[in-house]
């Protein structure tokens, strides 16, 4: 039995299949960080920390004549987003209903995906995670709200990375607001801005809910690592006569290995 306790939930095999598929479908488009940074794992629920290869001096030693260093690690954080499903809806799903209300699951998936994006791009101080934007060694570039300037600004961001020897292709995480603007815009001659930006960066342009502005990231690899213990899973908490309480969960840490490899663009 895994710690997710799925077998204790009053949910049939068909019900679990529907829930898992719905979660996968909702999570995948929103998990922007995983589309742009290296992914290590999943190493399992028991995986607790990532070795950093660094040490801290220990102030005192048990006896005279010895010295000590303590290894530094980055502890994984467990992220959980709870949701409740009506048992009547689950029973209807078993009867073959195709319009089951899984709205709470959808909202939960959106919350945890945004949390992962925010932790990776903007950091999570309380969990010891430094995000890409705060770690970047480059001055941020103003993206602004005027789409006509986006091509020039993003070209400048590419030049910034090239100038310090960080090669492409590059990926662009666009916050929801900026993404919509890009999607709606075309340049003179009607050429879609989205396609032009893709040509400039040479890599993926990703919808990144939770990201403020945009972030240009080298896709050469080895610069940013998402270390995952337990990958996104659904577990069971408790139930009563009318509802089942479930949760989405993952454990991860995030490391910036090369602060030169990303540039933030602000709105």
Partner 1 sequence: MWHDAGVGFDQYHEPPDELSHQTRTFARLCSSLTEEAEAIGWYEQRLDVEADAEAGAIMRDAQGEEFKHFCMDLEFLLRRTPLWREIAMGILFQEGDIVAHGEESEEEAVEGAAARGAPLAGGTSLGIGALRGAAG
The two structure tokens encoding residue 8: 């204790």
> Looking at beta carbons only, is 1 or 98 nearer to partner 1?
1
> To the nearest whole angstrom, how small is the minimum distance from the Cβ of residue 232 to partner 1?
5
> To the nearest whole angstrom, how small is the minimum distance from the Cβ of residue 262 to partner 1?
15
> Looking at beta carbons only, is 17 or 149 nearer to partner 1?
17
> To the nearest whole angstrom, how small is the minimum distance from the Cβ of residue 98 to partner 1?
20
Instruction: Output the CA torsion 159→161→164→169 (10° steps).
Output: -100
**CA angle at residue 212 from 206 to 217, to 5 degrees?**
45
> To the nearest whole angstrom, how small is the minimum distance from the Cβ of residue 89 to partner 1?
17
> Looking at beta carbons only, is 25 or 142 nearer to partner 1?
25
> To the nearest whole angstrom, how small is the minimum distance from the Cβ of residue 73 to partner 1?
22
- Sign of the four-CA dihedral 182, 185, 189, 191: positive
- Summarize as ranges the residues that interact with partner 1 (CB under 8 A): 1-2, 4, 6-7, 9, 11-13, 15-17, 20, 23-24, 27-28, 31-32, 34-39, 42, 171, 198, 204-206, 219, 228, 230-234
> Looking at beta carbons only, is 135 or 232 nearer to partner 1?
232
Q: Which are the contacts of 2, defined by CB distance < 8 A and separation ≥ 6?
A: 45
3-state helix, strand, coil in the chain (%, to 5): 35, 30, 35
The two structure tokens encoding residue 174: 């666009």
Of 199, 201, 191, 195, the C-alpha closest to 156 is: 201
> Looking at beta carbons only, is 161 or 208 nearer to partner 1?
208
> Looking at beta carbons only, is 55 or 167 nearer to partner 1?
167
Q: How far apart are CA 238 and CA 246, in angstroms?
A: 7
For 219, the 3-state DSSP assignment is coil
> To the nearest whole angstrom, how small is the minimum distance from the Cβ of residue 33 to partner 1?
9
């Amino acid at each position: 039995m895994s710690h997710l306790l799925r077998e204790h939930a009053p949910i049939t095999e068909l019900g679990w299949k529907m829930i898992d598929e719905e979660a996968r479908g909702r999570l995948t488009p929103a998990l922007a960080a995983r589309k742009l940074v290296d992914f290590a794992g999943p190493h399992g629920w028991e995986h607790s920390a990532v070795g950093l290869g660094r040490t801290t001096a220990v102030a005192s030693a048990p006896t005279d004549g010895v010295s000590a260093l303590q290894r530094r690690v980055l502890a994984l954080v467990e992220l959980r987003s709870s949701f409740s499903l009506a048992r009547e809806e689950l029973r209807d799903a078993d009867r073959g209903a195709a319009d089951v209300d899984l709205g709470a699951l959808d909202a939960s998936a959106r919350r945890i995906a945004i949390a992962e994006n925010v932790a990776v791009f903007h950091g999570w101080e309380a969990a010891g995670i430094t995000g890409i934007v705060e770690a970047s060694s480059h001055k941020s570039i103003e993206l602004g709200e005027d789409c006509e300037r986006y091509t020039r600004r993003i070209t400048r961001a590419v030049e910034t990375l090239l100038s310090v020897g960080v090669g492409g292709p590059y990926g662009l995480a666009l916050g929801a607001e900026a993404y919509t603007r890009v999607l709606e815009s075309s340049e003179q001659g009607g050429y879609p801005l989205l396609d032009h930006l893709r040509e400039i960066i040479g890599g993926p342009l990703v919808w990144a809910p939770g990201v403020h502005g945009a972030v240009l990231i080298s896709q050469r690899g080895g610069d940013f690592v998402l270390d995952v213990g337990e990958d996104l899973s659904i577990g069971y908490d408790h139930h009563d006569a009318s509802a089942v309480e479930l949760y989405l969960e993952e454990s991860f840490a995030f490391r910036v290995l090369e602060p030169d490899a990303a540039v933030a663009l602000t709105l």
